[in-house]
Chain A
Amino acid sequence: MNTYAIAAIYYFEMSRWLRTIGQSIAAPVISTSLYFVVFGSAIGSRMTQVDGIAYGSFIVPGLIMLAVVTESVSNASFGFYFPRFTGTIYELLSAPVDYAETLIGYVGAAATKSVLLGFLILLTANFFVPVHIQHPLLMLLFLVLTSVTFSLFGFIIGIWADGFEKLQIIPTLILTPLTFLGGSFYSIKMLPAFWQKVSMANPIVYLISGFRYSFYEAGDVNLSVSLLMICFFLIAAFCAARWMLKSGYKLKN
């Protein structure tokens, strides 16, 4: 295995992030604070508890997932698309690097940023509401699995996109609505029966539910189903990314 190549890609991607560290930290902290002001204080003060949890605390896992999913996709897709756009991708394509090393470097860096972001939001949330994590290891597992899965998904978009518009289409038109409708700010059980069934087709529901369970032992879906679903998405995304790199899809023609 070309470990020097993995380190080079990882370091390159992380230093790109560190160059704009102010932005990288300020943006999620500000948006999380705004969510707490709007949902936690303005709306939350008029709401009773959800699943026996104060509303402000209830939305913390959903907020973290919202940011982690969005940032994972955005970081990984941009990280791989930009070299294609500038032409510097020639170097990666001509280097003695295989698909696994490429994925570990790019996806590893994007997932690292997302995990750090998740902890940053958790820290910010602590300033607004009390947050207790019942199962810290399970929480970490969900955070890492979600970061890796959606970084892989972003990586796929980075290969598929052939313009900056396309880079934004899936996150804006599909991912953000799915995340908002995936129970970030409410429990699926609060919906009418029909919409509860519809929501079960939304993969994000399983991630948020499992993640929320690790905090409060309360979720919309059984924990093992949540874990199975995230593992399924991870494997599906990995297979798609592997096929793209090995076949040279949109890269070698």
Chain B
Amino acid sequence: MIPIDVRNLNKTYKGNFQALKNINLHIKTGEIFALLGPNGAGKTTLINTICGIVRPTNGTITVDGHDIITDFRAARSLIGLVPQELATDAFETVWHTVNFSRGLFGLAPNRAYVEKIIRQLSLWDKKNNKIMTLSGGMKRRVMIAKALSHEPKILFLDEPSAGVDVSLRKDMWENVRTLRDSGVTIILTTHYLEEAEEMADRISVINKGEIILTDNKDDLMKKLGHKTLTIDLDQPLNTVPPFLSAWKLDLDACAKQLHYHYSTAGGDTKVPQLLAGLSKAGIAYKDIHTNQSSLEEIFIELIK
């Protein structure tokens, strides 16, 4: 059974603004799926539509085979959602708010399970504190605890790292991986592309309400990623010799480094030929190293 299957989904808001355009998406069991896109691309609308917060204009969405409209109880009980905004009940305690969420999703009280979740998220010593007294990072973790309180099979994390410091972010990534390892399917949106690069199995890029591409992260990096070979020369070079023009080399300002930009997609990188050419021309070099373009650079290219 496909955990989430979105077919021909459209959402048009009042004023004829089309937030989602013919979205088709199939999430696989147990994967970490990253949804990337600039602000206003439609990421949150898509998540909210799947979770039942926004009504779709047309199209179908099933969660583990359950239609989100006609079989909403079964569909929603499988989903946990951590929204982008820090929306919490300021006057409630951590313990009460997490238990409230569990009840709302139709599960009997289970002190041991709720305690486990709160401990896992390092909130146990704050369990009797009112949420208004917690820091932003702690509030974010409370929201994760609420989303996990009803033992969901699918977890949506809409910008989970927003406002969270670096060390806490790393802890959160670790928690997300642990959840994935326990069989939970995770869909996350993020502005931190390093987060998607670090964690995601597959990536979808959405822009102006349309899915531009969906691919395995590694394949995406391979297909669209570029590499740069940097050659540290022994002696400065006045100009790039004409016989090396085929490689379109850049000579840096100090004339001591040559840069060769190439794609790994085709397999033939022409790096060995370049190095052989340099040796043949008597151009000595001290060192060579390569840089892989980041997901961020790929993403910027895609949404241009």
Q: How far is the CA of A19 from the CA of B96 in the complex (A)?
A: 13
Contact bitstring A61-105, B, C-beta under 8 A = 1, else 0: 000000000000000000000010011101111111110000000
Q: Say whether, besides A86-B89, A88-B88, A90-B83, A253 and B14 are in contact (CB < 8 Å).
A: yes
Q: Given contacts A8-B103, A86-B90, could you give 20 more A-B pairs where the C-beta distance is less than 8 Å?
A: A4-B105, A12-B92, A19-B91, A86-B88, A87-B83, A87-B85, A88-B89, A90-B81, A90-B83, A90-B87, A91-B81, A91-B101, A91-B104, A94-B76, A96-B72, A96-B74, A96-B75, A252-B53, A252-B55, A253-B54
| Across the A-B interface, the 3 shortest Cβ-Cβ residue pairs | A8-B103, A87-B87, A96-B73
Contact bitstring B53-94, A, C-beta under 8 A = 1, else 0: 111000000000000000011111101010101011111100
Q: Are A94 and B52 neighbours in the complex by a CB distance under 8 Å?
A: yes
Q: Are A5 and B81 neighbours in the complex by a CB distance under 8 Å?
A: no
Q: How far is the CA of A190 from the CA of B107 in the complex (A)?
A: 57
Instruction: Determine whether A15 belongs to the interface, using a CB cutoff of 8 Å to chain B.
Output: yes
Q: Are B108 and A4 neighbours in the complex by a CB distance under 8 Å?
A: yes
User: Residue on A with the closest CB to B56?
Assistant: A252
Q: How far is the CA of A102 from the CA of B103 in the complex (A)?
A: 13
Q: How far is the CA of A22 from the CA of B137 in the complex (A)?
A: 34
Q: How far is the CA of A96 from the CA of B150 in the complex (A)?
A: 11
* Beta-carbon contacts under 8 Å, B13-28 to A: 13-14
Instruction: Determine whether B113 belongs to the interface, using a CB cutoff of 8 Å to chain A.
Output: no
Q: Are A92 and B104 neighbours in the complex by a CB distance under 8 Å?
A: yes
Instruction: Determine whether B51 belongs to the interface, using a CB cutoff of 8 Å to chain A.
Output: yes
Q: Are A5 and B52 neighbours in the complex by a CB distance under 8 Å?
A: no
Q: Say whether, besides A5-B104, A87-B87, A95 and B76 are in contact (CB < 8 Å).
A: yes
Q: How far is the CA of A7 from the CA of B103 in the complex (A)?
A: 7
Q: Are A91 and B146 neighbours in the complex by a CB distance under 8 Å?
A: yes
Instruction: Determine whether B282 belongs to the interface, using a CB cutoff of 8 Å to chain A.
Output: no
Instruction: Determine whether B100 belongs to the interface, using a CB cutoff of 8 Å to chain A.
Output: yes
User: Residue on A with the closest CB to B11?
Assistant: A253
Q: Say whether, besides A86-B87, A96-B72, A4 and B53 are in contact (CB < 8 Å).
A: no
Size of the B side of the interface (Cβ < 8 Å), in residues, is 36
Q: How far is the CA of A94 from the CA of B89 in the complex (A)?
A: 16
Residues on B close to A: CB < 8 A? 13-14, 48, 51-55, 72-77, 79, 81, 83, 85, 87-92, 96, 99-108, 146
Q: Are B146 and A96 neighbours in the complex by a CB distance under 8 Å?
A: no
Q: How far is the CA of A229 from the CA of B101 in the complex (A)?
A: 38
User: Which of A83, A88, A93 gathers the greatest number of chain B CB atoms within 10 Å?
Assistant: A88
**Can you offer 20 A-B residue contacts whose CB atoms are under 8 A?**
A2-B73, A4-B106, A5-B103, A5-B104, A5-B106, A7-B103, A8-B100, A11-B100, A15-B96, A88-B89, A90-B81, A90-B87, A91-B101, A94-B52, A95-B76, A96-B73, A96-B74, A96-B77, A253-B13, A253-B14
Q: Are A94 and B146 neighbours in the complex by a CB distance under 8 Å?
A: no
User: Residue on B with the closest CB to A20?
Assistant: B91
Q: How far is the CA of A12 from the CA of B54 in the complex (A)?
A: 24
Instruction: Determine whether A204 belongs to the interface, using a CB cutoff of 8 Å to chain B.
Output: no
Select one of B53, B55, B92, B99 contacting A94, CB under 8 A. B53
Contacts of B13 in A (CB 8 A): 253
Q: How far is the CA of A4 from the CA of B100 in the complex (A)?
A: 9
Q: Say whether, besides A86-B90, A87-B87, A88-B89, A12 and B106 are in contact (CB < 8 Å).
A: no
Instruction: Determine whether A248 belongs to the interface, using a CB cutoff of 8 Å to chain B.
Output: yes
Contacts of A12 in B (CB 8 A): 92, 100
Q: How far is the CA of A88 from the CA of B88 in the complex (A)?
A: 6
* Beta-carbon contacts under 8 Å, A215-253 to B: 248, 252-253
User: Residue on B with the closest CB to A6?
Assistant: B103
Q: Say whether, besides A94-B81, A95-B76, A96-B77, A4 and B103 are in contact (CB < 8 Å).
A: yes
